């Protein structure tokens, strides 16, 4: 079993801006969401034994709320860093130019990454977590990363990939 969650709300999330590598902090609502996530994780039937988070502050703070609640250490892993949207970071997410660019799996965002780059980055971590039969992991990361992780476990056409969205602090469980 592997659990994955998205960080709590940031100001850029609330404003509908593309939030990639910019290190935007949690809003008060995001901090409350992290606390509510911690309560949910503490009540899981299959308990988390290891927490790994993206190095971005919004994910670290979300992971910290959970780690404090269930009294586990946490580890940062660069492979969970949000997709690098390059020049589109901070742009309104509904801008046509961004919406068109994000559908090209193999094309990197200007000064950023492609979906295939992210898949190549996160897949080894998923395999490591799944191979560890003694632990149940919680990965605290970002929407684009979780979209890729979901596609790893549930192959789908491109249209389904882009329709998949994870709310802030939504908790998803994946089996091998």
Domain count of the chain? Answer: 1
The pLDDT value given to residue 163: 86
Q: Which domain holds residue 79?
A: 1-172
3-7, 63-67, 141-145, 160-164: the lowest-pLDDT one: 160-164
**β-pair type (50-53, 137-141):** parallel
CATH number, domain at 32? 3.40.50.1240
Q: What is the pLDDT averaged over residues 21-39?
A: 97
Out of 53, 82, 113, 142, the active site residue is 82
Whether 56 shows a pLDDT value over 80: the answer reads yes
The pLDDT value given to residue 136: 98
Single pTM value for the model: 0.96
Binding residues for substrate: 6-13, 58
Out of 7, 53, 113, 142, the active site residue is 7
29-43, 115-129, 157-171: the lowest-pLDDT one: 157-171
Q: Is 142 a catalytic residue?
A: no
For the beta sheet containing 137-141, the strands, ordered from the edge strand earlier in sequence to the opposite edge, are 74-76, 50-53, 137-141, 2-6, 171-174
Whether 176 shows a pLDDT value over 80: the answer reads no
Q: Is 53 a catalytic residue?
A: no
- What CA–CA distance (Å, rounded) separates 45 from 25? 31
Whether 125 shows a pLDDT value over 80: the answer reads yes
């Amino acid at each position: 079993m592997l659990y994955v969650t998205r960080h709590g709300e940031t100001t850029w999330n609330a404003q509908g801006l593309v939030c990639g590598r910019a290190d935007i902090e949690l809003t008060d609502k995001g901090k409350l969401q992290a606390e509510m996530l911690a309560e949910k994780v503490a009540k899981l039937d299959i308990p988390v034994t290891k927490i790994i988070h993206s190095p971005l502050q919004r994910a670290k703070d979300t992971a910290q709320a959970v780690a404090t609640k269930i009294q586990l250490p946490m580890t940062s892993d660069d492979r969970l860093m949000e997709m690098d949207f390059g020049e589109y970071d901070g742009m309104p997410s509904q801008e046509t130019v961004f919406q068109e660019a994000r559908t090209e799996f193999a094309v990197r965002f200007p000064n950023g990454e492609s979906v295939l780059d992210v898949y190549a980055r996160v897949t080894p971590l998923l395999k490591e977590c799944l191979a560890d039969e003694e632990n149940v992991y919680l990965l605290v990361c970002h929407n684009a990363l979780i979209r890729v992780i979901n596609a790893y476990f549930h192959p789908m056409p491109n249209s389904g990939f882009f329709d998949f969205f994870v709310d802030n602090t939504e908790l998803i469980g994946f089996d091998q």
